Amino acid sequence: MADRELAPAALRRSSRRLSKGWYKFSRNRLSVVGLAIIIVISLAAIFAPYITPYPSHAGPYANFKESSQPPSAKHLFGTDTVGRDVFSRVIFGYRYSLMLAVVVISLSAPPGILLGLIAGYYQRTKLETVIMRITDIFLAVPPLILALAITALLTPNITNQMMAVSLMWWPWYCRLVYAITASLRNEYFVVEAELTGARKAHILLRSILPNCVGPILTKVTLDMGFVITLGASLSFIGLGVQPPKPGLGTMVADGAKRLPAEWWMTIFPALAIVLVILAFNLVGDGLRDMFAVEEI
Amino acid sequence: MIKYILQRLLQAIVILVGLSLLIFFIARVVPGDPARVALGSLATKEQVQRLRAELHLDKPFPVQYYFWLRGVARGDLGISLYTRRPVIQDLNDYLPATLELVFFCFLITLVVGQVTGVLAGYFRNSWFDALSRLISYGGIATPPFAVAIFLLFIFSNLLGLTPAVGRISMTLSPPPRITGFFVFDSLITGRLGLALNALSHILLPAVSLAIANLAQESRVTRSSIVDNLQKDYVAAHTVYGIPRRSIIFKYLLKPSMIPTVSIMGLDIAFIIANAFLVELVFMWPGFARYAVTVMLNKDLNAIVAVVLVIGVAFAVVNVLVDIVVSFLDPRIRLRGREE
C-alpha cells in the first residue's frame, strides 16, 4: 500500500537508478556490442518468417538442382545437401535456441530461487538439509549427462529437451540464492522484519529477494549462453530439434560429415552458435560490473 | 586432516547413493518397456515376459533397487540389454580411451592455463594480456564440439598437420594393455613410433576439450596473481630487495594456484560431459559413443552405470582437489589441528 502512494518518488528513484546502471554497463564497450548482437539476433529470430530470404527452407523442402552450392550472393551461407538455404535455416535455428533458453530459465529459475531462499533462511534445520542435499545430488553429474539420459529415455524432441534441461537447471539458482540468503540471514534488516512480526513470505520475498536481484540477473544472462550451448550439444548428438526442423547443433552435426569440401554447411551454423553465446557472455560481464558495488 | 578427508568421502558416498536412486527412478518411470525395446518388435510376449522377470522389472521399485544395489556391492552392474555383455566389461573396454583423453586435457589445461595466466598477470595490460583475454573470451563462448570442428577443419583438413580420427593410424596395431593409455603403453613396451602416432591422434581432441577450461583457468590465475601482487608480503619482499622473478615463482605461485585448482575440481564434470561431444567429432572409440548408444536404446543397467561412473569420477576428483587445496593453503590444513 505504502508503495503505491509513493509511486512518483519511487518511479523517479528507479529511473535514476536505471540511468546510473546504464552508465556503468555502457562503460564496458564490449557489453554494449553484445547487447546489440542479442537484440539483432532476437529480432531476426522472432521475425524469421518475414525477413529470411527462403522461409520455406526451414522445413521439409528439397530442390536438388540447388544442392551443395557454395556461399554466393543468392545463398549467403551456401546451400545444404538437399538445396536448402543455410542462412535462412540458421536464422530459424536461432528461434529454437532462444526459445529453449527462455523456456528453460523461466521454468527452472523461480523454483530454484524459492528453494534457495527457504534453505538459506531456515538454516540448521531439516528443511535446509533436505533441500541442499537434493541440490547436491543434481549437481553431482554434469547437466548434459542427465539431460541426455532423460531426453533419450523419453522421445527425443524439443519439448522433452526443454523439460529435461529445466529439470537439471534449478539447482544452480538454488545454490546461488542459498549462498546470498545465508549471508544475509542475520543482518539487521532481516532481524528487524522478524521482530515487527512480518510474515515469512514477506521476509523472504520483500526483504531478502531484492538483494539477490543483481546476481540472479547476471546468472540469467550467462545461463542463456549455457543453455543454448547445452541445447546445441543435445541437438548435435541428435536428441534435440528433429529434422527437417533446423536446429543449430543438428546442422553442425549433419554438415560435419561433409567436411572439408562442403565446409559452409557446418562452419556457418557453428559460428552462429559462437556468436550468440559470446554476446550473452559479454552482456553478462557488463551486468556483473553494473551490480558490483565494491569494485570501482 | 584425515578426519576432514573422511568427512568429505562420506559426503560423496551419500550423494552417490542419492544419485543412483535418482537415475534409477528416472530410468524406470519413463514410458516404454525396456525389455520390449531390447528384444525388438518380433519377440513374443513370453520372451518379453521372461526378460522382464530376469531383470526384475516385474517387481516393485524398491525391490528392483535392492537387487541392483546387491549387485553393485559384488562389483556387478548387471547385463547391458544392448551389447548383451556385463556392463562392467563394456566399461572396461571403453573407459580407458576416455580417461586418456581427459588426462591429456587436464595436463594441457593445467600447464598452459597456469603459464599464460601467470604471464598475463605479471605483464598486466600488455599486448600479451590483451591477446590472452581475447582468446579466453572466444574459448569460453565456443562450445567444445564447435572448437573440435574448427580445429579438425583447420589442422586436419586444410593444413593436413594432424590425423583426423581414431586413436592410432588404421595400419598400426594397438599396444598391449597395461595402463589402457595408448601413449604410455607404447612407451612402456618401447615402441616410440607408436607412442608418437598415438600422441598426434590425441592432440586435437585433447586441445578441443581443454580450450574452454583453459581460458577460464588462465583468467582466474591472472586475477589471482594480480590480487596477490598487491598484498603486503609482496611489498615487503620487494623492499627486502628480492628479485621480482623469484617473488613470483617462489612466493606467489602457490597461493595463486588455490582458486585455479578449486575450479578444476568443478570443471571435471564439464570436461567429462564435453568429452562426449568431442569424441563424436573425432570418432574417438571411448565412453561417449557407448553412452549415447545405450541411452538411445533405453538400456537401463548401462544408463545407470554410465551416469554413476561420471558421478564417481566427479566425486573422486573433488575429494582429490580438496586435498591438494588443503596442501596449498595452510589455513585449511591447520584448521583441523586447532580444533
Residues of A in contact with B274 (CB under 8 A): 144
Taking an 8 Å cut-off on Cβ atoms, the answer to whether B149 and A260 are in contact is no
Taking an 8 Å cut-off on Cβ atoms, the answer to whether B280 and A133 are in contact is no
Which of A133, A146, A253 minimises the CB distance to B18?
A133
Closest CA to A151 of A136, A166, A138: A166
H-run or E-run covering A217: helix A213-237
Mutation choice for A interface testing from B276, B282, B304 by most A CBs within 10 A: B276
Lowest pLDDT segment from A213-222, A232-241, B29-38, B278-287: B29-38
- Compute the distance between CA of residue A251 and CA of residue A99 in angstroms, rounded to an integer: 17
The answer to whether residue A273 scores a pLDDT higher than 90 is: yes
- Compute the distance between CA of residue B107 and CA of residue B253 in angstroms, rounded to an integer: 17
Residue of B nearest to A153 (CA): B298
ipTM, 2 decimals? 0.81
Type of residue at B273:
A
pLDDT number for residue A108: 94
Taking an 8 Å cut-off on Cβ atoms, the answer to whether B143 and A277 are in contact is yes
Average pLDDT of chain A is 86
Interface of B with A in 234-293 (CB under 8 A): 269-270, 272-274, 276-277, 280-281, 291-292
Mutation choice for A interface testing from B8, B14, B15 by most A CBs within 10 A: B15
Q: Is the model more confident about B305 or about A103?
A: A103
Residue A238, helix vs strand vs coil: coil
Residue B158 near chain A (CB below 8 Å): yes
pTM for the predicted model, two decimal places: 0.84
Q: How far is B189 from chain A (nearest CA, A)?
A: 36
Per residue in B197-218, pLDDT tens? 888 888 889 998 888 888 888 8
Distances (CA, A) of B58 to B52, B53, B62, B63, B326: 6, 6, 12, 10, 49
Closest CA to B284 of B182, B154, B213, B143: B182
Q: Is the model more confident about A91 or about B329?
A: A91
